[in-house]
Structure 1
Amino acid sequence: MKILLSGTASDSHTWNLVYLALFLEERGHDVVALGPCVSPRLLTDACRQHVPDVVVLSSVNGHGYRDALASVRALRAEPELAALPVAVGGKLGIAGRSGEAETARLREAGCDAVLADGADDLEALCSFLAARARVVV
């Protein structure tokens, strides 16, 4: 699968993105890594340019919830990107794991998977990707 991997608008961290890119590439995926501090506009433009199968957003600065909400809303506002699968994960809130209300809002906005920052969540990401893998004939 072609995966567009991105940080969120306010997050300047890169180690999480490097780790995820390597993790995904080792599993055979083609990864287009946008890097940190990606605005919703830059994300939508990159999705049009690269035509990924899935978008994975990662944040570790504690503002991932707010940033991911803006990004996924921007994607869903574009007709050609409205059905593009999106997973978001990492440290999404300043208090640690997102609560049920935040997870529900992210899902309502269009996130297909809301993950945290543990090993179980990497397994959940792999399951999410496997469920969306295209069968090439």
Structure 2
Amino acid sequence: MVSSVSSDAHMWNLVFLQLLLEEAGHEVTNVGVCPPDGTVMAACRGADRPDLLVLSTVNGHGRLDGLRLIRALRADPELAALPVVIGGKLGVRGSGDPGVGRQLLDAGFDAVFAESRGNTPERMVADFRAFLTTLATARTATPPPRIPAGAGR
């Protein structure tokens, strides 16, 4: 499942991720732009419960919106174990704060793919693909490892 965060009205990033995931053989539900947290949570509880929730944002408010949403997801017994990742422009200062990724991981995200100095969009996509491979492998063993922002550099 792909979704934006509640304050982000950009759709092109969601379409890109949907196509990337479908090309890799995954079925994808696209929740869309500006969804309230409750809408995302309800979609995750639906009959087609996802194996992964991918949050993408380009407006710079991903840290704030993402923190609120991941705390709600982790507090919900039905959704607490759902793998959730976030990526894009996570702060209004852009690539300047490396602590944002750590904060999001500490709050409960399984991986963070953040815009940062030296972390190109191509590197972020490669890291995301590697995470998907790790997640598929780990499903039969243990929970996937948390991947810090910019880990592929």
Q: TM-score, normalised by structure 1?
A: 0.90
The corresponding residue for 1:16 is 13
Tell me which protein shows more strand as a share of its residues: 1
User: Do the aligned partners of residues 98 and 127 (structure 1) sit closer, same or farther apart at CA in structure 2, a change above 3 Å counting?
Assistant: farther
| Partners of 1:88 and 1:98 in 2: CA distance | 17
Q: What secondary structure is seen at the aligned counterpart in 2 of 1:52? A: coil
The corresponding residue for 1:32 is 29
Cα shift at 1:96: 1.1
The corresponding residue for 1:58 is 56
The corresponding residue for 1:125 is 128
Across the aligned residues of Structure 1 and Structure 2, the Cα RMSD in angstroms comes to 1.3
User: Do the aligned partners of residues 94 and 77 (structure 1) sit closer, same or farther apart at CA in structure 2, a change above 3 Å counting?
Assistant: same
CA contact (8 A) 1:17 1:58 kept: yes
Higher relative contact order (CA 8 A, sep 6+): 1
Cα shift at 1:56: 0.3
User: Do the aligned partners of residues 105 and 56 (structure 1) sit closer, same or farther apart at CA in structure 2, a change above 3 Å counting?
Assistant: same
Of the three residues 64, 67, 70, the one matched with 2:65 is 67
Identity over aligned residues, as a percent? 48
Cα shift at 1:75: 0.6
| Partners of 1:41 and 1:131 in 2: CA distance | 29
Q: What secondary structure is seen at the aligned counterpart in 1 of 2:59? A: coil
Match for 1:132: what amino acid? L
Q: What secondary structure is seen at the aligned counterpart in 2 of 1:89? A: strand
Cα shift at 1:74: 1.0
- Runs of 4+ aligned structure 1 residues displaced above 3 Å come to none
The corresponding residue for 1:78 is 76
Matched, 1:97 2:100: no
Deviations 1:4-36 (A, max 9, x none): 100000001101111111111111111110000
Of the three residues 84, 105, 108, the one matched with 1:107 is 105
Deviations 1:78-98 (A, max 9, x none): 011111111100111111136
Q: TM-score, normalised by structure 2?
A: 0.81
